[in-house]
Structure 1
């Protein structure tokens, strides 16, 4: 249905969902072009070709609509991500993922500020969770190659927080204050925080990790002798498979 008509729902199969999507896209477009203050019921309805009361047949209130816009933003970001299953250099893959997140924020300032500047806005969406899985995949590859120096979920929090902080800090600055070296420095600080200076595991994969851990077992005291013996047996099996 062309914009400018005043029906509550697009005719035909799936009409209600199409209308809902039209409202979300209209709100996202207004947000991107004119900022958060422009996203009013009246303005969104006009942009979507609806009467203002029709908005509330699809969303309980404006807050629910903004949640949907945030989900739309996460889905757009997810579509831009490229998850390389076997990168030749996991450190460069980490940097590339961080750069992509920051570039998305700088290209979509109003949308990004709403997505990440408001606590937990849209973070229960499937797109957000899928994006986090891509990040965790990068982190697991770092761990498997012996680069990871902190626990996986802590690494994810550090990576996520530094990218978000970089974008929001950049957006808060005037043009004459913005120095690209800030973004590079924050990215490298993130890399230093979550990775070792050299890999702990020389041979990538489970077998190499098992051999490295097996070699370190005599130096740790957290396990009892019986636990060490059992773990040593398990690690030996994994190492042998490699």
Structure 2
């Protein structure tokens, strides 16, 4: 099966040449482009999520042989969450190779976080099916790079820390409110406010609701702890 120049370039960027290139074609085909004769990447996404999880679980156990489950869980979540997958997808320019329907193309689908994250998981599954687990593992570890070693910093969760701060002082959990949402669908901007029972509050702006909540919580926690 012949593949496009974009997919050949993608193979070079991920460091793997497919013996069954139809798997790669499926991995980069969004549901907006599916048809009775063309499979989309949703089933591969499901599988790739599990392959990624196993790779990262093994990597974390090998990296820190004394870590408890409680320490490993947030590190694991930081490495497999959709934002991490989308970041890797951007680094390998996966969006350039995606097969999208007209509506997704017009709305900036090549840059959407969820779409890129899903496609990255699908590519992992395609490599796993074509080359086996060890090949997929090598690719994931290579593409995730320093993220695995720097995950302790990425795993810090300001929302959880702020909730623990409030609970320790017998306050209700923090309340989060979307103040505004602007920008196009493919690049939204959220401003979120977090408020504690004692009236302390902060706002933050980011490209996703989750990121804005984390940033607001982090800003408030930093102010409270430095007071």
TM-score range, shorter chain: under 0.3
Instruction: Between the two structures, name the one with larger relative contact order (CA 8 Å, sep ≥ 6).
Output: 2
**TM-score of the two chains, using structure 2 as the length reference:** 0.27
**TM-score of the two chains, using structure 1 as the length reference:** 0.26
Whichever structure has more strand as a proportion of its residues is: 2
Larger Rg: 1
